[in-house]
Amino acid sequence: MLFNSFDFAVFLPLVFSIYWIIGGARLKLQNAFLLFASYVFYGWWDWRFLALIMSSSLIDYFVGLALTKDQSTKIRKLLLAASLTLNLSILGFFKYCNFFLESFENAFSLLGSPIDLGLLNIVLPIGISFYTLQTMSYSIDIYRKRIEPTRNLVAYLGYVSFFPQLVAGPIERAKYLLPQFLQPRKFDLQQASDGLRQILWGMFKKVVVADACAVHVNEIFQNYDTYPAPILALGLVLFSLQVYGDFSGYSDIAIGTAKLFRIRLSQNFNMPFFSRSIAELWKRWHISLTTWLVDYVYYPLAFKWNRKGMGRFGTSLAVMVVFLLSGLWHGANWTFVFWGLLNAVYIIPSILIPRLNQRNVSIVLGEKLHPALVELSQVLITFFLFAFSMVLYRAESINHSFLYTMRIFEFDLLPLKISMYESLPIAVIMLVWEWFTRTKQHGLQIENLGRPLRWIIYLIIGWLILFNFREGGNEFIYFHF
């Protein structure tokens, strides 16, 4: 079920009404209903994969309970290894089986010994990359004795399958989200109102900005050999804005929807396009995935290699591994692997040369009305480096990305197609608006404006969403990951 669909427009008010009719005083029944609604939401796409998410959830639930018993270190390690192996095997089969089969076929063909392993007809379950990381973090944190497991199975299953963030995050940690399912929740009008505003802002970013950019991006990438360099460069800029509007829009809708149920989700984007370096951008982009990889991959590897005296080289190598995994997590294609590698190459100089490293700040560029010229140049360079990397993210193959890039550097006299610039102004308006609201949780926390002006803004945004809305419109990009 898509957020930008009529099905969800019926589903959400219905679930919201029944949820609060049950009330927080009957917590077990409220949690059971929320779990049922989450499974309906997930099963709406394909009910057969409900067994998959239930299996993945139960594996870590029982492993978590077993880890609390008086076990030897060896047994605890075996239990954790079993959990990770089962989870990664399920993820690997559905997401990467054909990728590795095809890679082996290509490798043998290059060696002059072609083989046919036969690709499997596998359907990728929606959201599997997200809830797999979520359940794995539960077992790992129990193993590390950072959290205690819960015996409340319904609350645990609700934590894993909570429908606003189930299929595209944020990837929540049990330490933060699970306790909210164990405590009574009372309706809060102020929080619910803020949730509706955040949903509205997320819908604006998805429907008005991202989907408009997508039309031109698809045209440019499919016919890159017929367009001049400026249009191809514009395609990368528009695609970067599309992905941002699409995914941060989803996150806003998810976080806003959760507020309607008096549940708080983690911030997943923090104005990434105002960053002054790629390293800072990745601290602000898809925060829940970045912090997951940092906590469970980067820190263990960096600690291990630094103990061996590898110093900054060990740290750089750990960063390389993290970004290669991040690329592979995003998609079973070599384009994503090289996309991750390119972002690692962007960051490693700041590790090897400390003076290039810039401190992350909670508010982008402080509370200045506008950035200084030096800061603005850093922001623009960072954005264009990121946009350049997105050719690998969007291209269908390595060859496609290479040919597209080469065309950018071919200066010919093909006529510019002005209509390709149509979606750029609204995306720029979104970024400017976010600049002036960057101290807020989302773009429509504008309580400082008078009520009449606020409602005019809400109505304009609502009209733009309805004007650009199409039933059965574009899926959210990260549904495929």
In this predicted model, what pLDDT tens digit does every residue of 347-403 receive, in sequence order?
988 887 766 666 666 677 777 778 888 888 989 999 999 999 999 999 989 999 999
**Do 335 and 392 touch, CB atoms closer than 8 A?**
yes
List, in sequence order, the alpha helices (H) in 261-333.
278-284, 287-293, 299-307, 311-330
Q: Are residues 67 and 112 in the same domain?
A: yes
Q: Are residues 181 and 197 in the same domain?
A: no
Angle at 39 between CA 137 and CA 142, to 5 degrees: 20
Q: Are residues 202 and 232 in the same domain?
A: yes
Residues 445-477 have pLDDT tens digits of 888 888 889 899 989 999 888 888 765 556 677
Q: Are residues 88 and 223 in the same domain?
A: no
Tokens representing residue 120 in the block: 């499997």
Within-domain flag for 313: no
HEC secondary structure over 46-113: CHHHHHHHHHHHHHHHHHHHHHCCCCCHHHHHHHHHHHHHHHHHHHHHHHHHHHHHHHHHHHHHHCCC
Q: Are residues 253 and 163 in the same domain?
A: no
Mean pLDDT by 10 residues, the chain (481 residues): 84 95 88 95 87 91 87 86 92 80 67 64 81 94 92 94 90 94 92 94 93 90 87 92 94 96 94 91 93 93 82 87 92 90 91 68 74 88 95 92 88 63 84 88 86 90 84 63 60
Boundary (domain end) residue, out of 186, 219, 244 = 186
Within-domain flag for 321: no
Q: Are residues 151 and 219 in the same domain?
A: no
Within-domain flag for 393: yes
Round to whole Å and give the CA distance between 268 and 248.
7
**So what's the pLDDT on residue 156?**
95
Helix (H) or strand (E) holding 30: helix 27-43
Round to whole Å and give the CA distance between 213 and 235.
9
Round to whole Å and give the CA distance between 240 and 423.
13
pTM as predicted: 0.91
Catalytic residue chosen out of the listed positions 216, 286, 330, 442: 330
Round to whole Å and give the CA distance between 36 and 39.
5
Largest CA distance in the chain: 74
**So what's the pLDDT on residue 424?**
84
Within-domain flag for 341: no
**So what's the pLDDT on residue 447?**
83
| Cα dihedral across residues 158, 163, 165, 168: positive or negative | positive
Round to whole Å and give the CA distance between 357 and 351.
7
Structural domain for 169, as ranges: 6-186
Does residue 330 have an active-site annotation?
Answer: yes
Q: Are residues 71 and 22 in the same domain?
A: yes
Q: Are residues 64 and 28 in the same domain?
A: yes
Q: Please state the domain count of the chain.
A: 2
**Do 152 and 60 touch, CB atoms closer than 8 A?**
no
**So what's the pLDDT on residue 446?**
85
Within-domain flag for 326: no
Tokens representing residue 179 in the block: 């306790």
Within-domain flag for 131: yes
Within-domain flag for 84: yes
Within-domain flag for 10: yes
Boundary (domain end) residue, out of 129, 163, 186 = 186
Q: Are residues 220 and 133 in the same domain?
A: no
Q: Are residues 399 and 470 in the same domain?
A: yes
Boundary (domain end) residue, out of 144, 167, 186 = 186
Round to whole Å and give the CA distance between 256 and 195.
4
Q: Are residues 258 and 232 in the same domain?
A: yes
Q: Specify burial of residue 280 (Cβ count, 10 A radius: 0-12, 13-18, 19+).
A: buried
Q: Are residues 220 and 257 in the same domain?
A: yes
Round to whole Å and give the CA distance between 275 and 285.
10
**So what's the pLDDT on residue 226?**
85
Q: 324: closest CA among 296, 356, 293, 302? A: 293
Q: 479: closest CA among 149, 169, 119, 16? A: 169
**So what's the pLDDT on residue 244?**
95
